[in-house]
């Protein structure tokens, strides 16, 4: 990072999350995109941050409540008679 302490890079990093989420005004977006064109390191940080978020979402989508966990939950809540209804 020692060769990467330009003020522009630090400004970009501060706005990176909002840039990824699309919450920035157009003029600031253009400024960021202009910087990204000329800065390899910031492009890497952007690409890998986006990918990090994607990767964390993908396995989570597969995680549902296991059948035995659901059964124990319904019993604990005295909802046993609803266990077999369609989810």
Partner 1 sequence: MKRKTARFPSKPCAPGDRTEFARLVDAYSAPIYRLGLKMLGNQQDAEDVLQNTFLNALTHLADFEGRSSLSTWLYRIASNEALMLLRRKKNAVNLDDFHPDDAEESPLPEVFVDWSALPEDELLSGEAKMALDAAINKLPEPLRMVFILRDIEGVSIKETAEILGLTETNVKTRLLRARMFLREQLSAYYSERLTREETHERPSP
Residues at the site binding partner 1, with contacts judged by CB under 8 A: 1, 4-5, 10, 13-14, 16-18, 20-21, 40-41, 43-45, 47-61, 63-66, 69-70, 72-74, 76-77, 79, 82, 85, 87
In the complex, the smallest distance separating the C-beta of residue 6 from partner 1, rounded to whole angstroms, is 11
Residue 4 and residue 85: Cα distance in Å, rounded?
58
**CB atoms inside a 10 Å sphere around CB 32:** 20
Alpha helices by DSSP H, the chain: 7-21, 26-38, 40-62, 67-76
Instruction: Please give the span between the terminal C-alpha atoms of the chain, in angstroms, as a whole number.
Output: 51
Nearer to partner 1 by Cβ, of 13 and 29: the residue is 13
Q: Please state the closest distance from residue 35 (CB atom) to partner 1, in A.
A: 15
Shortest CB 25 distance to partner 1, Å: 15
């Amino acid at each position: 990072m020692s060769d990467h302490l330009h003020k522009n890079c630090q400004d970009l990093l501060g706005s990176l999350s909002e840039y990824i989420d699309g919450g920035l005004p157009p003029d600031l977006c253009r400024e960021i995109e202009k910087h990204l064109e000329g800065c390899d390191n910031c492009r890497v940080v952007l690409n890998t941050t986006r990918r990090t978020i994607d990767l964390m979402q993908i396995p989570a989508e597969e995680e549902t409540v296991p059948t035995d966990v659901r059964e124990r939950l319904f019993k604990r809540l005295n909802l046993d008679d609803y266990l077999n209804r369609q989810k």
